[in-house]
C-alpha cells in the first residue's frame, strides 16, 4: 500500500542493539518520498556508531529535553511521525496509521503499542517477543484480525504517533507528553487498530527526562484546586514544614482560593478545567522544579513526620513511595473511617499522572507502575469524603460523569472499574451491578475480579438483595487472598440480615490492622460504627457506649455527632465526654462531623470543645459555620468569641442576619445586636433588609425587642421613622 509522504522523526535511544533493531525495522516500511530525521542526544555518543552508513536518514544533534521539537523544526511534510528509538516496528505498520488521515478531521493517529500509557497500550504475549520473526508473525495475524478498525480516543502515548504539523503548531508545539488536550480541541484522535509495534522501554529510552540538577529543590507539593477556601489554609500550612515549594493550579475558582494560596507563599497558576484530573495534575507538575513531587488535594492535611520523609527522599533509591491516606467517613462516602495506600510521592522526572478519574502515578513513558515502597511517615489526613464535603463539591455526580467519559475514552478495565465504583457511590445501583458484571466477564487479573465482586456485594446489600449479596461474597471468598476483603463485606451483610450477633463475632475475629486486596488499610476499628449499632440493637447499650468511648480515645470518630449524643445518652453519658476523650490531634477530624450535625448537637459539642481548648482556631472556624443556625443568644456568644480572637468577618450574628432561612424577626434582631454591641457598620444594610421583610403585624413587637436588646439602634430607627 502506498501512503502520503511523511516526516519520520526518530528519538535515538535505548541500548545500541535496541536502536539498531529500531532502524532495521523502520527502513522497509517507508515510502519513496518520506524523509527521516534522527535526533541524537549529546550524552549518547555510543549510538552514533549505529548511524554510520545510514544514508537514508539525516542526523541532527538534540538541543533540549524534547527530541520531537528538534525533529519537527528540521522537517517539512504536513504529517510528522514520532518514533522512539527503542521501538520495533512491524511490516506495513505505517499504512493503517496514515490511512486515518484520509479523514481531514483526524489530527493524530497511532498504532497499538506495547509499553505505552493510555489507550494505545497493549500487552503482547511472551511468545510474540522471543525473537523478531515471532513478533512479525504475531503482528501479521493482528493486522489481519483488525483490518480497517479505527477507534476514537482522547489521547495517545508519547512513544509512537503521527500528528498533523499545523495542528501541533496550534497546540503549542511538541512537549514531553505531547499536547493531546489541545489537539483534541482541533479534531479527532484515533488508534489504527490494525497497526502494532513493540516498545522495548529500556532505562536508556530516549524519551526519558533528565533528573533535575542537584541544587534543585528537594520536594515540590503539587495541587489542583477549585473553590477550596474552606480547607486550603490548613492544607498549605501543614505543607510548609515538608515541601520546598508549593504549586497550586487553579481550575477556575470563584471564591478566595487563589488569594489564600498566594498568601501562603504558593506559586499559583490560573489555569482551566477540561473534565480530566490527570491532565490538570500534569499541568500543575509542569510548573514544579523539585527533584521529587507530592500530589496533594486541598482537603488533605499532611500529618506525618516531615524530617523522616525528607530523609527518605534524599537517601532512598526508589522512584516513588506509597502514602498513607486516612479518610474521614470512609472512602467515597462510606460511614466510618478508612485508610488507603497510594503512590503520591515520586521522582518528578520519572513519573506522570494518568487518568480522567481516580488517576494513577505511572512511568511517564511506558505507563507501567513505578517501583513503590511504603513510607509510614508520609501521612495525609483526608476529609474529602465526609458527607458535608460531598454535598459541597457534589463529588458523586462529578465522579459519575467523569467515569462515564473515561469509559468512553478508553476500553480498558481500569475505566470500567472506576465507572462501577462511581455508579455505586452515586447510588445508581442497577447500573453499578450491570457494569460490575460486565467487568467480571472481561477480567483476567485477580485484583480486577476482586474490585468488581466488591462492587456487586455492596450494590446488592444497598438494594437489600441479600441472596445475591451472599452469592457475591462467597465468590469473593474464593477469589480474594486478604482476610479483610471478605470480612468487611460479610460484616455489612450479616448486619443487613439482622444477624447482629454474627456481625459482632466476625468483627472480633478480625486482626487489629491490615490491608485488603486493593491495598485499602482496614482494621477492627474501622467497623466501630457497625459494632456500636449492632450492640445498640441488641439493647447492650452500655457496651455500645464503651465501644464509642474506646474509639474516641484512639482518635477515631466512628459515628455522626447526633448519633453519639444518643448512644452516650442511653448509657447515662453526654456529648461533653467527646471533648474529654478525644486526643487534641484528632479534634480536626471531629470538626468535620460537627459541621454535619443538627445545630443543637453541634453547638453543645463545640461548647465542650471550647471549654477544653479555649481559643482553638479550628473550633472557631466551625462555630462560625454552625453559629448562623443556633438560637440568637448562642449566636451572640459565638460572635463575641470570634471577634475577640480576630475573626470579625466571620461574625455569627452577621451570618444569621443575612440567612434567608431564618425569620425576619431573627435576622432583624441579629443585625441590630451586631450594630449595638460591636458598632459594625456591615450590619446596617442587613438590618434595613431584614426590617423590610418583617410583616406589618409583627413590627411593633420586633421594635419592642430591639429597645431591650439594642437601645441605641432602636432610638436611631425611631428617629428615622419620625
Q: What is the pLDDT of residues 421-455, one digit of tens each?
A: 888 877 889 999 999 998 899 888 888 899 999 99
Q: What is the pLDDT of residue 515?
A: 76
Q: Would you say residue 586 has pLDDT above 90?
A: no
Rounded to 10°, the helix 528-537/500-509 angle is 150
Radius of gyration of the chain (CA): 31
Q: What is the pLDDT of residue 329?
A: 56
Q: Once rounded to an integer, what is the mean pLDDT over residues 484-499? A: 92
Q: Would you say residue 10 has pLDDT above 60?
A: yes
Q: What is the pLDDT of residues 694-704, one digit of tens each?
A: 999 999 999 99
Spatial neighbors of 494 by CB under 8 A, at least 6 apart, are 500, 502, 503, 506
Highest mean pLDDT among 301-310, 444-453, 473-482, 532-541 belongs to 532-541
The total number of residues shown for the chain amounts to 722
Q: Would you say residue 334 has pLDDT above 60?
A: no
Q: What is the pLDDT of residues 335-392, one digit of tens each?
A: 446 677 888 999 998 888 887 777 778 888 887 777 778 888 899 988 755 444 444 4
Q: Would you say residue 411 has pLDDT above 60?
A: no
The Cα–Cα gap between 614 and 584 comes to: 12
Task: At 595, list the grid cell.
Answer: 459541621
Q: What are the distances in angstroms from CA 14 to CA 205, 465, 665?
A: 5, 55, 77
Which pLDDT band, with edges at 50, 70 and 90, does 237 fall under? very high
Which pLDDT band, with edges at 50, 70 and 90, does 214 fall under? confident
Q: What is the pLDDT of residues 95-117, one digit of tens each?
A: 999 999 999 999 999 999 988 87
The Cα–Cα gap between 615 and 130 comes to: 70
List phi, psi (to 5°) of 33: -100, 5
The neighbour count for residue 219, using CB atoms within 10 Å, is: 24
Q: What is the pLDDT of residue 367?
A: 76
705 CB burial (10 A radius; 0-12, 13-18, 19+): middle
The Cα–Cα gap between 618 and 582 comes to: 15
Q: What is the pLDDT of residue 350?
A: 86
Coil, strand, or helix at residue 173?
A: coil
State the DSSP H helix or E strand holding residue 454, giving kind and residue range, or none if neither.
helix 446-462
CA 111, distance to chain mean position in Å, is: 30
Q: What is the pLDDT of residue 695?
A: 93
Which pLDDT band, with edges at 50, 70 and 90, does 413 fall under? low
Q: Hey, what long-range contacts does 260-267 have (CB within 8 A, 24 or more apart)?
A: 260/229, 260/232, 260/233, 260/236, 261/225, 261/232, 261/236, 264/232, 264/233, 264/236, 264/237, 264/240, 265/240, 266/223, 266/236
Q: What is the pLDDT of residue 651?
A: 92
Q: What is the pLDDT of residue 502?
A: 96
Q: Once rounded to an integer, what is the mean pLDDT over residues 11-36? A: 93
- Residue closest to 41 by CA, chosen among 6, 85, 77: 85
The Cα–Cα gap between 280 and 270 comes to: 11
% of the chain with per-residue pLDDT over 90: 57
Least confident range from 315-319, 410-414, 594-598, 698-702: namely 410-414
Q: What is the pLDDT of residue 261?
A: 96
Q: What is the mean pLDDT of the chain?
A: 87
What is the full DSSP assignment across 46-109?
GGGGGGTT-TTSEEEE--SS-HHHHHHHT--SSEEEEEETTEEEPTT-HHHHHHGGGSTTEEEE
Contact 697, 683 (CB under 8 A): no
Q: Would you say residue 400 has pLDDT above 70?
A: no
Residue 331 DSSP code: G
- Residue closest to 686 by CA, chosen among 701, 673, 699: 673
Contact 202, 14 (CB under 8 A): yes
Which pLDDT band, with edges at 50, 70 and 90, does 293 fall under? very high
Q: Once rounded to an integer, what is the mean pLDDT over residues 545-558? A: 90
Highest mean pLDDT among 340-344, 397-401, 439-443, 540-544 belongs to 540-544
Q: Once rounded to an integer, what is the mean pLDDT over residues 593-603? A: 81
Q: Would you say residue 163 has pLDDT above 60?
A: yes
Q: What is the pLDDT of residues 650-663, one digit of tens each?
A: 899 999 999 988 99
Q: What is the pLDDT of residue 524?
A: 78
Q: What are the distances in angstroms from CA 691 to CA 184, 305, 672, 699?
A: 55, 54, 10, 8
Least confident range from 129-143, 200-214, 563-577: namely 200-214
Coil, strand, or helix at residue 285?
A: helix
Q: What is the pLDDT of residue 719?
A: 62
Domains of the chain, CATH where assigned:
7-199 (3.90.550.10), 219-393 (3.90.550.10), 539-613 (no CATH), 631-722 (no CATH)
Q: What is the pLDDT of residue 330?
A: 44
Q: What is the pLDDT of residues 658-679, one digit of tens each?
A: 998 899 999 999 999 999 999 9
Q: What is the pLDDT of residue 360?
A: 79
Amino acid at each position: 500500500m502506498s501512503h502520503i509522504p511523511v516526516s519520520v522523526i526518530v528519538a535515538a535511544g535505548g541500548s545500541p542493539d535496541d536502536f539498531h533493531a529500531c532502524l532495521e525495522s523502520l527502513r522497509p516500511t517507508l515510502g519513496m518520498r518520506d524523509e527521516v530525521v534522527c535526533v541524537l542526544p549529546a550524552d549518547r555518543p555510543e549510538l552514533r556508531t549505529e548511524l554510520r552508513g545510514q544514508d537514508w536518514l539525516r542526523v541532527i544533534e538534540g538541543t533540549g529535553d524534547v527530541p520531537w521539537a528538534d525533529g519537527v523544526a528540521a522537517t517539512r511534510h504536513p504529517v510528522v511521525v514520532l518514533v522512539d528509538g527503542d521501538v520495533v516496528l512491524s511490516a506495513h505498520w505505517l499504512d493503517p496509521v496514515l490511512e486515518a488521515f484520509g479523514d481531514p478531521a483526524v489530527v493524530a493517529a497511532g498504532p497499538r503499542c506495547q509499553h505505552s500509557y493510555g489507550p494505545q497500550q497493549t500487552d503482547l504475549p511472551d511468545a510474540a517477543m522471543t525473537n523478531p520473526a515471532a513478533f512479525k508473525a504475531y503482528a501479521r495475524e493482528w493486522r489481519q484480525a483488525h483490518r480497517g478498525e479505527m477507534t476514537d480516543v482522547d489521547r495517545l502515548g508519547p512513544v509512537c504517533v503521527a500528528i498533523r504539523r499545523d495542528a501541533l503548531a496550534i497546540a503549542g508545539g511538541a512537549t514531553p507528553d505531547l499536547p493531546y488536550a489541545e489537539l483534541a480541541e482541533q479534531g479527532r484522535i484515533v488508534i489504527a487498530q490494525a497497526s502494532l509495534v513493540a516498545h522495548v522501554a529500556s532505562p536508556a529510552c530516549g524519551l526519558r527526562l533528565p533528573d533535575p540538577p542537584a541544587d534543585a529543590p528537594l520536594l515540590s507539593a503539587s495541587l489542583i484546586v477549585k473553590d477550596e477556601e474552606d480547607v486550603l489554609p490548613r492544607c498549605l500550612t501543614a505543607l510548609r514544614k515538608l515541601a520546598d515549594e508549593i504549586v497550586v493550579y487553579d481550575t477556575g475558582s470563584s471564591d478566595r482560593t487563589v488569594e489564600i494560596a498566594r498568601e501562603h507563599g504558593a506559586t499559583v497558576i490560573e489555569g482551566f478545567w477540561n473534565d480530566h484530573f490527570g491532565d490538570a495534575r500534569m499541568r500543575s507538575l509542569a510548573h514544579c522544579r523539585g527533584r521529587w513531587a507530592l500530589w496533594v488535594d486541598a482537603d488533605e492535611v499532611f500529618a506525618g513526620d516531615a524530617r523522616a520523609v525528607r530523609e527518605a527522599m534524599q537517601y532512598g533509591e526508589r522512584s516513588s513511595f506509597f502514602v498513607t491516606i486516612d479518610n474521614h467517613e470512609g472512602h467515597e462516602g462510606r460511614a466510618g473511617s478508612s485508610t488507603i495506600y497510594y503512590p503520591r510521592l515520586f521522582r518528578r522526572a520519572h513519573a506522570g499522572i494518568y487518568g480522567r478519574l481516580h488517576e494513577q502515578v505511572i512511568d511517564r513513558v511506558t505507563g507501567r507502575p513505578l517501583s513503590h515502597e511504603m513510607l509510614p511517615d508520609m501521612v495525609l489526613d483526608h476529609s474529602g469524603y465526609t458527607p458535608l464535603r460531598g454535598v459541597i463539591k457534589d463529588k458523586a455526580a462529578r465522579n459519575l460523569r467523569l467515569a462515564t467519559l473515561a469509559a468512553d475514552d478508553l476500553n480498558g478495565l481500569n475505566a470500567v472499574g472506576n465507572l462501577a465504583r462511581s455508579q455505586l457511590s452515586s447510588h445508581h445501583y442497577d447500573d453499578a451491578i450491570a457494569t460490575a458484571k460486565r467487568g467480571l466477564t472481561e477480567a483476567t487479573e485477580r485484583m480486577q475480579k476482586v474490585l468488581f465482586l466488591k462492587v456487586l456485594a455492596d450494590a446488592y446489600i444497598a438494594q437489600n438483595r441479600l441472596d445475591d449479596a451472599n452469592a457475591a461474597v462467597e465468590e469473593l471468598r474464593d477469589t480474594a487472598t486478604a482476610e479483610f476483603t471478605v470480612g468487611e463485606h460479610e460484616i455489612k451483610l450479616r448486619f443487613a440480615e439482622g444477624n447482629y450477633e454474627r456481625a459482632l463475632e466476625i468483627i472480633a475475629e478480625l486482626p487489629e490492622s491490615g490491608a485488603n486486596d486493593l491495598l485499602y488499610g482496614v482494621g477492627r476499628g474501622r467497623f466501630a460504627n457497625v459494632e456500636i449499632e449492632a450492640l445498640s440493637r441488641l439493647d447492650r447499650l452500655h457496651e455500645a457506649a464503651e465501644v464509642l468511648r474506646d474509639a474516641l480515645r484512639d482518635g477515631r470518630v466512628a459515628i455522626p455527632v447526633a448519633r453519639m449524643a444518643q448512644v452516650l445518652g442511653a448509657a447515662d453519658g453526654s456529648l461533653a465526654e467527646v471533648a474529654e476523650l478525644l486526643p487534641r490531634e484528632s479534634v480536626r477530624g471531629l470538626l468535620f462531623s460537627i459541621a454535619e450535625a443538627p445545630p443543637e448537637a453541634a453547638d453543645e459539642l463545640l461548647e465542650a470543645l471550647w471549654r477544653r481548648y479555649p481559643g482553638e482556631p479550628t473550633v472557631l472556624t466551625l462555630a462560625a459555620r454552625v453559629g448562623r443556625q443556633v438560637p440568637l443568644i448562642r449566636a451572640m456568644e459565638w460572635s463575641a468569641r470570634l471577634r475577640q480572637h480576630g475573626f470579625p468577618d466571620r461574625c455569627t450574628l452577621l451570618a444569621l442576619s443575612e440567612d434567608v432561612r431564618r425569620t425576619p424577626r431573627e435576622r432583624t434582631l441579629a443585625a441590630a445586636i451586631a450594630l449595638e454591641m460591636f458598632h459594625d457598620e456591615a450590619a446596617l444594610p442587613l438590618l434595613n433588609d431584614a426590617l423590610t421583610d418583617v410583616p406589618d403585624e409583627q413590627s411593633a413587637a420586633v421594635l419592642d425587642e430591639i429597645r431591650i436588646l439594642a437601645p441605641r439602634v432602636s432610638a436611631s430607627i425611631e428617629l428615622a421613622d419620625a
